[in-house]
Structure formats: C-alpha cells, structure tokens
C-alpha cells in the first residue's frame, strides 16, 4: 500500500504555459521524491503594454511518501 501527498506550486515562464508546467515539475522533482502526477489548477498571464510577458500556472503535484 502506498500513501500520496499533494502540494500546490506556482511556476512561470516567459515562453508558454507548457514551458511553465515543465519548469514547475522539474523544480518540484529536485525537492520532492516520487512525483507521480500534477493537476493544472489555474492559468494566468501577466500583461504589460498590451502584450503577454509571462505565463503562470498553479499546480497540485502529488508524490508518494516513503515507507
């Protein structure tokens, strides 16, 4: 039997939402072991002078706890 924990993270990118997700998962993997899934809860953009300058994602990341 395994037990999972869920934590919420926010990640950003100047390229795209996909890039923000990739960066967030890679960074979470440096701190959290056994990352198994992520649910993208929210998408936001930062707009400056009528142009999108940053893509932000809020994710719920789940990982399996060690025995």
pLDDT on residue 7: 96
What pTM did the predictor assign? 0.88
Q: What is the largest CA-CA distance in the chain?
A: 53
Rg (CA), the chain: 14
Instruction: Tell me which of 3.30.1360.120, 3.30.1660.10, 3.40.50.300, 1.10.20.10 is the CATH number of domain 4-64.
Output: 3.30.1660.10
Q: What are phi and psi for residue 57, nearest 5 degrees?
A: -125, 140
CA distance 48 to 32: 34
Structure tokens at 25: 């998962």
Domain residue ranges of the chain, discontinuous segments joined by +: 4-64
pLDDT on residue 67: 78
- Three-state DSSP class for residue 29: helix
* Residues 8, 65 contacting (CB under 8 angstroms): no
Predicted confidence (pLDDT) per residue in 43-52, tens digit: 999 999 999 9
């Amino acid at each position: 039997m395994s037990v999972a924990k869920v934590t919420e993270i926010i990640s950003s990118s100047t390229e795209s939402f996909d890039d923000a997700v990739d960066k967030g998962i890679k960074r979470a993997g440096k701190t959290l072991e056994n990352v198994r899934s992520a649910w993208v809860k929210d998408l936001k953009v930062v707009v400056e002078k009528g142009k999108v300058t940053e893509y932000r994602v809020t994710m719920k990341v789940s990982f399996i706890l060690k025995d």
